[in-house]
């Protein structure tokens, strides 16, 4: 009998030890991220020392500096083409729109490489080097005397030579290629720092996308103020050199955070795995997911047509307005009004994250307040309001110029820039989060690049619309004259875009409801 009692006692001790052991194992597992990521050494990453918010400052700094470099070029590039290369309004706008469109098509290349071969970290690192090379070439094209056209003498402006254009465009399109490896990967890489299997970290991920967009606009703010002013007042040599330096800082900042990062290994891409019969079923399912997203994706094309105006015809509109304040002789650079596009982001992001989300949460029951599709829809509506204001301002400007020979102050443009910036907070952030959440794990970078492709198509479509309108309405006295906007009707062009954007909204709402119902 005693032996039975002893055996029972031993069994109880063993069970107790097993329970303690498994409890310790469970606690040990919870010390590590469980989403399949690894640290720099290829080991499961410790939650306390990697990822989460502690890794984000380096990613935010990288994005802030890189966007400062990009917008340091993009914000005022139409002025460079018009004033330094002596291009017409239509030609300069077409160059800028085509380049910007290319900047958003190259992410397909970077995304494919990241998902299938290198992973996001090494893709960002390698394409940053290409980006920096392009910045150097662009700076040289504006600094070396033989690489830029001679100054105008009176009304005679020597055109740029083939060699001069080749150096300039090679720099611009190397930048376009470089941004293609950074743009689709950096937001996804930042989101990878949060373990989606941990509810607390998953909740922080939604907030990450807001502050990621906020960091983008810090760079845009500096570009719209300091850099535009330097380019207009101190020249393009220094105006392009400073963004080049910041691109170098972006790369350095990214590497500094390496010990803190969590890395997702490349899992292949449908484009590279469809040849493997064993994965055909999985790949078909992934492609089906993409096809379901197409109507939502397409809505971004029209939004990008409207949004592209802040870098092109908004700037040229401002150049035709009164740019001095009172008796001062200092002229406000037209591209500086882009600061209000950025200022709206600084105001909107904290308000949205701290006030709108908690308020909306009471009615929707969602932790994020609004769904991504609801957020995108609001952005589409506000972008149409922005173009409506621009059209009204231009109508008023033309009437004053033609009837009373008076100039409307450039400060009237503030509302249209502010509204477009607010539209971006809703649409762009909602789009980033929507495509990240809805895409399969193996296609995160690719889906992000695919979303960015709408910006490409929007810029290309905008360029096409500008070209067609110029051809149909006339070169010198049409809607968009070659030089003097007072002899044209830019307001008609803006009203055309208002109609286009207004038609886009009900289409988006229809497919959003249909997508939500299918998902449920």
Residue 184 located in a structural domain: yes
Q: How many domains is the chain partitioned into structurally? A: 2
Residues 295, 202, single domain; the answer is no
Give the SS3 label for residue 156: strand
Using 50, 70 and 90 to split pLDDT, how confident is the model at 388? very high
Q: Give a yes or no: residue 29 inside a domain.
A: no
Q: Are residues 194 and 274 in the same domain?
A: no
- 338 lies in some domain: yes
Confidence at residue 23, expressed as pLDDT on a 0 to 100 scale = 44
Model confidence at 395, in pLDDT bands (50, 70, 90)?
Answer: very high
Mean pLDDT in residue range 37-57: 87
In a domain, residue 297? The reply is yes
- Enumerate residues 6+ apart whose C-beta is below 8 A from 289: 438, 439, 440
User: Is residue 275 pLDDT above 60, yes or no?
Assistant: no
- CA–CA distance, 199 with 405 (Å, rounded to integer): 63
Going from the C-alpha of 340 to that of each of 224, 337, 348, 418, 420, the distances in angstroms are 9, 6, 12, 5, 9
What's the chain's length in residues?
A: 520
Does a structural domain hold residue 33? no
Q: Is the same domain home to 465 and 322?
A: yes
- Categorize the per-residue pLDDT at 26 as very low, low, confident or very high, splitting at 50, 70 and 90: very low
Q: Are 192 and 59 in contact (CB under 8 A)?
A: no
1 found inside a domain: no
Q: Are residues 318 and 235 part of one domain?
A: no
What are 482's two structure tokens? 């070659």
Q: What is the CATH number of the domain that holds 337?
A: 1.20.1250.20
Nearest to 261 by CA among 111, 69, 72, 119: 119
Is 186 found in the same domain as 115?
Answer: yes
Q: Is the pLDDT of residue 32 over 70?
A: yes
Q: Are residues 246 and 282 in the same domain?
A: no
Quote the pLDDT of residue 177: 93
Q: Using CB atoms within 10 A of its CB, is residue 29 exposed (0-12), middle (13-18) or buried (19+)? A: exposed
| Contact assessment for residue 435 and residue 451, using Cβ atoms and an 8 Å cutoff | yes
Domain boundary among 268, 299, 332: 268
Q: Angle CA(320)–CA(321)–CA(327) in degrees, nearest 5?
A: 130
pLDDT, one tens digit per residue, over 64-102 is 889 899 988 988 888 888 888 888 878 888 888 889 888
pLDDT at 135: 94
Answer yes or no: do 237 and 371 share one domain.
no
Q: What would the pLDDT profile of 444-480 be if each residue is shown by its tens digit?
A: 777 777 887 888 899 889 989 988 888 887 766 778 8
User: Is the pLDDT at 10 greater than 50, yes or no?
Assistant: no
Confidence class for position 11, pLDDT limits 50, 70, 90 = very low
Same domain, 259 and 275: no
pLDDT per residue over 215-259, tens digit each?
Answer: 887 888 888 788 888 988 888 899 999 999 999 988 888 999 999
The predicted pLDDT at position 519 comes to 64
Are residues 86 and 118 both part of a single domain? yes
Residue 122: its pLDDT value, please? 92
Question: Of the residues 221, 249, 268, which one is the last residue of a structural domain?
Answer: 268
Per-residue model confidence (pLDDT) at position 196: 79
φ, ψ for residue 268 (rounded to 5)? 90, 175
- 52 and 107 belong to one structural domain: yes
The pTM (predicted TM-score) of the whole model is 0.71
How far are the Cα atoms of 50, 58, 88, 281 from residue 38, in angstroms, in the given order? 10, 18, 53, 28
Range of the domain at 229: 43-268
24 assigned to some structural domain:
no
DSSP 353: I
Q: How confident is the model at residue 342 (pLDDT cuts 50, 70, 90)?
A: confident
Judge contact between 431 and 376, C-beta under 8 A.
yes
225 and 332 both lie in a single domain: no
- Among 224, 251, 268, the domain-final residue is 268
Residues 307 and 452 in one domain: yes
Q: Give the residue-averaged pLDDT of 380-384.
A: 96
Q: 135-157 pLDDT, tens per residue?
A: 999 999 988 888 888 887 777 77
Q: What does the alpha-carbon distance between residue 401 and residue 381 come to, in Å, rounded to a whole number?
A: 31
Is residue 5 included in any domain, yes or no?
A: no
């Amino acid at each position: 009998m005693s032996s039975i009692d002893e055996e029972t006692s031993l069994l109880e001790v063993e069970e107790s030890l097993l329970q303690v052991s498994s409890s310790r194992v469970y606690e040990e597992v919870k010390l590590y991220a469980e989403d399949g990521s690894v640290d720099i050494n290829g080991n499961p990453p410790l939650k306390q020392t990697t990822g989460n918010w502690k890794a984000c400052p380096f990613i935010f700094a990288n994005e802030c500096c890189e966007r400062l470099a990009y917008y340091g070029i993009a914000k005022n590039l139409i002025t460079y083409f018009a004033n330094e290369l002596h291009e017409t309004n239509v030609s300069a706008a077409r160059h800028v729109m085509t380049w910007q469109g290319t900047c958003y098509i190259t992410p397909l290349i970077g995304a494919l490489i990241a998902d299938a071969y290198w992973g996001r970290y090494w893709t960002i690192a390698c394409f940053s080097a290409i980006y920096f090379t392009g910045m150097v070439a662009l700076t040289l094209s504006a600094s070396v005397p033989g690489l830029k056209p001679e100054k105008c003498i009176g009304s005679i402006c020597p055109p740029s030579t083939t060699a001069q254009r080749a150096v300039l465009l090679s720099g611009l399109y190397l930048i376009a290629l470089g941004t293609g490896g950074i743009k689709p990967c950096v937001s996804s890489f930042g989101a990878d720092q949060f373990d989606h299997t941990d509810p607390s970290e998953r909740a922080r991920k939604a907030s990450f996308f807001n502050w990621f967009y906020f960091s983008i606009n810090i760079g845009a703010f500096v570009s719209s103020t300091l850099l535009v002013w330097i380019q207009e007042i101190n020249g393009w040599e220094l105006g392009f050199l400073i963004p080049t330096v910041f691109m170098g800082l972006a790369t350095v900042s990214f590497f500094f955070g390496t010990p803190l990062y969590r890395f997702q290994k490349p899992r292949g891409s449908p484009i590279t795995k469809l040849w493997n019969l064993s994965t055909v079923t999985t790949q078909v399912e992934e492609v089906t997911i993409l096809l379901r997203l197409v109507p939502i994706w397409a809505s971004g094309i029209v939004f990008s047509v409207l949004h592209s105006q802040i870098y092109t015809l908004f700037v040229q509109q401002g150049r035709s307005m009164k740019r001095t304040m009172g008796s001062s002789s200092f002229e406000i650079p037209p591209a500086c009004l882009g600061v209000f596009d950025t200022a709206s982001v600084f105001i909107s992001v904290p308000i949205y994250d701290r006030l709108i989300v908690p308020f909306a949460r009471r009615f929707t029951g969602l932790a994020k307040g609004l769904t991504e599709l609801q957020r995108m829809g609001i952005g589409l509506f506000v972008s149409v309001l922005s173009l409506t204001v621009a059209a009204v301002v231009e109508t008023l400007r033309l009437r004053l110029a033609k009837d009373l020979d008076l100039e409307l102050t450039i400060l009237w443009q503030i509302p249209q820039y502010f509204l477009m910036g607010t539209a971006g907070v809703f649409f762009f952030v909602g789009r980033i989060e929507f495509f990240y959440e809805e895409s399969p794990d193996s296609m995160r970078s690719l889906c992000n690049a695919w979303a960015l492709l709408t910006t490409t198509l929007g810029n290309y479509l905008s360029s096409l619309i500008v070209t067609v309108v110029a051809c149909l309405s006339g070169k010198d006295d049409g809607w968009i004259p070659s030089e003097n906007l007072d002899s044209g009707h830019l307001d008609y062009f803006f009203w055309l875009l208002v109609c286009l954007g207004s038609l886009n909204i009900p289409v988006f709402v229809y497919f959003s409801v249909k997508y939500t119902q299918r998902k449920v």
